[in-house]
Amino acid sequence: MAEAPLILILVGLAAYTVLGGADFGAGLWELTGRGPGGQALRDHTHRAMAPVWEANHVWLIFVLVVCWTAYPPAFASITSTLTIPLFLAGIGIVLRGASYALRSGIDTPREEGVLSLVFALSSVLTPFALGATVGGIASARVPVGNARGDAFDSWLNPTSILIGTLAVATAAYLAAVYLAGDATRMGNRDVAEAFRTRALGAGIVAGAIAATGPFVLHSDARPLYDGLTSGTGLAALLVSAAAGIVTLTLVAARRYEPARLSAAAAVAAIVAGWGLAQRPSFLPGLSIDEAAANDATITALLIGFAVGLLILLPSLAYLFRLVLTGRFDPAAPMPPPPPRASSAAAALTSSRLESISAPIAAALLTLGALVTFFSEGWLLAVGVTLMLAGACALFLALVTAEDR
């Protein structure tokens, strides 16, 4: 029971690394490539990433809220010791959001250059800072308590730097794989080839960084090293390494769709390996059980998640289906013409909605206001309901009156 939310956290972390990471990685590639070819790359990057940016970002929010709901003392210890990298990650996220929001308004190459620079800056800052945060936790540098750890050594240490740089390289790699896949689907061969080259390069860099991992962890984070080199931790590590090699092979063979999945598997496996290697400890001297919230909260959290996922998963599948089947691509077919005013049969709502009279609506609003003002308890609730209904009706009446 106490460990169930931790699984949600790790799943969220893996999803954010794969989806949000690819988004940040795309920022790095915006800087590469000059001239008309580079322009094509940038346009493609924006087109492919824009519709899914916000949704990809929400995974991080989930990781945060589940952590503070289910393991409050661990969350507070982490955030108060690792304040600097988390703050830097937040600043990077602001820059990313701003460059995204501004993209639709730029007109000149100079403006685009500035924006690409901001995006690229955030693309290094946020993955590195979050990776360094993970490194601080994984190398047992976060003691329990309010800001009890070292403000700098907790994230500027060999393990943090290893995971931080690995996060940046992985983000770049994932982004290139996805963008190559999207470009292939859009029939944009040149762009696809450009991203294939980048994917192979970034993949080799990420692999090389990962390969130094055992040496760094052996000297800097021995418990984590031991966990990852024995039992289930080792299994996860091997799965991750194998999936990484498979991904590189698939990219080399231009099989981008399966490469998406194997890349995600490589990330998920190493995140799971971290969890398995650290278990049952959350922070030094604090086990997962001790950090866990009371049962009522965890039960409520799990119920909330179950219901939430019932709504969320179909919606997310719908979005990814629209994106991945190319419905938002520039060349997508136009839909059938919209209905005329006469096709009232297809109306979403009865035309009676449009014949509300303003005086009646105003009277309803006034009645509701009077009841609200002079009552308490359930009668007040009735009054508020009447008042809000009256306000909506008055809005409808006044606006539709102009259309008749």
**CB of 138 or CB of 387, closer to other proteins:** 387
**CB of 145 or CB of 158, closer to other proteins:** 145
Closest distance to other proteins from the beta carbon of 187 (Å): 18
Q: How far apart are CA 73 and CA 77, in angstroms?
A: 6
DSSP 253: T
**CB of 13 or CB of 66, closer to other proteins:** 66
Sign of the CA dihedral running 345, 350, 352, 355: negative
**CB of 100 or CB of 225, closer to other proteins:** 100
Closest distance to other proteins from the beta carbon of 101 (Å): 4
**CB of 120 or CB of 237, closer to other proteins:** 120
318, exposed or middle or buried, with CB in 10 Å at 0-12, 13-18, 19+?
exposed
**CB of 242 or CB of 293, closer to other proteins:** 293
Closest distance to other proteins from the beta carbon of 301 (Å): 6
Q: How far apart are CA 332 and CA 329, in angstroms?
A: 5
DSSP code string of 88-108: HHHHHHHHHHHHHHHHTT--S
Closest distance to other proteins from the beta carbon of 214 (Å): 30
List C-alpha distances in Å: 215 to 166, 211, 222, 237.
14, 8, 10, 14
Closest distance to other proteins from the beta carbon of 353 (Å): 9
Q: Which amino acid is at 398?
A: L
SS3 286: strand
List C-alpha distances in Å: 332 to 187, 322, 325, 361.
12, 11, 10, 44
Closest distance to other proteins from the beta carbon of 79 (Å): 3
